[in-house]
Amino acid sequence: MISTPIPYGCQHITEEDIQAVISTLKSDYLTQGPKIREFETKFAEYVGARYAVAVNNATAGLHLAATALNVNSGNKIIVTPMTFAASANCIRYCGGEVVFCDIDKDTYLMDIHKLEAMLRAAPRGTYKGILPVDFAGYPLDLEKFRRLADEYGLWIIEDACHAPGGYFTDSKGEQQYCGNGHFADCAVFSFHPVKHIATGEGGMVTTNSKELYDKLCLYRTHGITKDAALLHEHHGGWYYEMHELGYNYRLTDFQAALGISQLGRAKAGLDHRHEIVKRYNEAFFGIDGIKPPFNAADAYHAYHLYIIQVDDRSGLYNYLHENKIYAQVHYAPLHLMPYYQQLGNRKGDLPIVEEYYEHCLSLPMYPTLTDEEQEYVINKVIEYIKK
Ligand SMILES: *Cc1c(COP(=O)(O)O)cnc(C)c1O
């Protein structure tokens, strides 16, 4: 059955999810209860990280990560321009300066060769950190990024919002899951409804560093601690102290309950995404005028997005919309947003990402997309291309 309009992404809420939320609503805790810790533990296990900190959205999570890594005014951080605005904004919240590095023309990830050239060209100490993205779900080879980061004394925040469950294969042949904390200092995930796991609003920060974990927890709740070992004074059982200027970036317990329930289906959801990819690839490979996504054999792509490139992207976008297929563009390059242009970035600065933007289109990709719906999408795309 085909139900239109067909969006590019969509959450999947089951009866089991609804019951999980209801039972938490009937419990003693709406926030800061046992579901948060359970969600953190299970999520950390899912991605293979030591610690996980649940937050109210990934934008807050990115801000926490940048804060915990001491980003402040004058610090220059290298960010990919092919991402959602939040990836760079978190640096600006802390007063840091965003310097963009162009993408690879096939993977659309931050181009490590361009990154290396930028680092070599600048005096040592110019940059403090790098913030690449597992864009569309394609896992970054973070072993290579780490080697470079270590050489130049940089930290890494991995924006893994598109990639829970994805992994790359390292030089020893081991599978390194996105956000497992093995190479990046912190990684950030989103539970916005279009992402793999939905909690309404929600996010998670993962790390393998106890020191960063403690800071993330502290900044999540106003910089307040009740830990007796840390208190400067001891007034009694009621007493707490505020040690840093923190925030309220907490997730609620009923959202965590939804997240736990969704996490239970995350692997099956990924498998389903791969079936959808297989059908798209079979339909599009070999068709003149369509460039399907690049897939490295030794990486497991999480396919948040299935992106094709075509000559006449705007024409195809309009044609699909006329046929009630709401394909989407990810994204207009961040350095060309008026806000970032006003900070000195210009059209022409990053030719690869600017060229990519002219041709990219994200086709519908979500686990509840039916075979018939996908067939309809494929037919409409090919119909337009062959016109
Ligand atoms: C969705 C997304 C974010 C922001 O997530 P929110 O949970 O909506 O704050 C950040 N970075 C990337 C790459 C995203 O896709």
**Domain map (residue ranges) of the chain:** 15-263, 266-385
Predicted structure pTM score? 0.98
Cβ of 58 less than 6 Å from ligand 1? yes
86 lines ligand 1 (CB under 6 A): yes
Ligand 1 mean position to 84 CA, how many Å?
A: 6
333/350 Cα distance (integer angstroms): 9
User: Looking at 35, 195, 215, 380, which residue is catalytic?
Assistant: 195
* Cα–ligand 1 centroid distance for 54 (angstroms): 14
Longest CA span, the chain: 78
Helices (H) and strands (E) in the chain, counts: 13, 17
pLDDT band of residue 295 (cuts 50, 70, 90) is: confident
Cα 147 to ligand 1 centre (Å): 26
Calculate the average pLDDT of the chain.
97
Interval between CA 190 and ligand 1 midpoint (Å)? 5
Residue 39 Cβ inside 6 Å of ligand 1? The answer reads no
Q: What end-to-end distance do the CA atoms of the chain give, in Å? A: 26
The predicted model gives 113-136 an average pLDDT of 98
- Atom index in ligand 1 nearest the CA of residue 190 equals 7
Q: Tell me the two tokens of residue 369.
A: 């997309």
Domain 15-263 CATH (choose: 3.40.190.10, 3.40.640.10, 1.10.1740.10, 3.40.30.10): 3.40.640.10
Q: Which residues of 10-28 are buried (b: 16+ CB within 10 A; e: fewer)?
A: bbbeeeebeebbeebeeee
pLDDT tier at 114 (50, 70, 90 boundaries)? very high
DSSP letters along 238-263, please?
Answer: T--EE-S---B-PPBHHHHHHHHHHH
- Which CATH architecture describes the domain 266-385? Alpha-Beta Complex (3.90)
Could you tell me if 221 and 59 are in contact, meaning their C-beta atoms sit under 8 angstroms apart? no
Q: Token match 């990639």: residue?
A: 163
User: Does the C-beta of 59 come closer than 6 Å to ligand 1?
Assistant: yes
Q: Give which of 281, 333, 382, 59 is closest to 192, Cα–Cα.
A: 59
Tens-digit pLDDT profile for residues 261-284: 999 999 999 999 999 999 999 999
**Any catalytic annotation for residue 195?**
yes
Whether the CB-CB separation of 377 and 325 falls below 8 Å is answered with yes
Q: How far apart are CA 199 and CA 259, in angstroms?
A: 5
- Ligand 1 atom closest to the Cα of residue 62 is 10
Residue 56: CB within 6 Å of ligand 1? no
The C-alpha atoms of residue 24 and residue 35 are separated, in whole angstroms, by 8
Q: Cα of 371 to ligand 1 centre, how many Å?
A: 28
87 Cβ below 6 A of ligand 1: yes
Q: Please indicate whether residue 203, judged by its CB atom, sits closer than 6 Å to ligand 1.
A: yes
Distance 211 CA to ligand 1 centre (A): 25
Measured from the CA of 59, which atom of ligand 1 is nearest? 9
Pocket test for ligand 1, best of 161, 201, 334 (most atoms within 8 A of CB): 161
Task: Name the band, by pLDDT with cuts 50, 70 and 90, for residue 296.
Answer: confident
* Strand (E) or helix (H) holding 232: none
Question: What pLDDT was estimated at residue 313?
Answer: 98
pLDDT in tens, 336-382: 999 999 999 999 999 999 999 999 999 999 999 999 999 999 999 99
User: In the Cβ-directed half-sphere of 85, how many Cα atoms lie within 13 Å?
Assistant: 8
**Ligand 1 atom with least separation from CA of 57:** 7
**What is the structure's pLDDT at 387?**
87
Q: Whose CA is closest to atom 10 on ligand 1?
A: 86
pLDDT average, residue stretch 2-29: 95
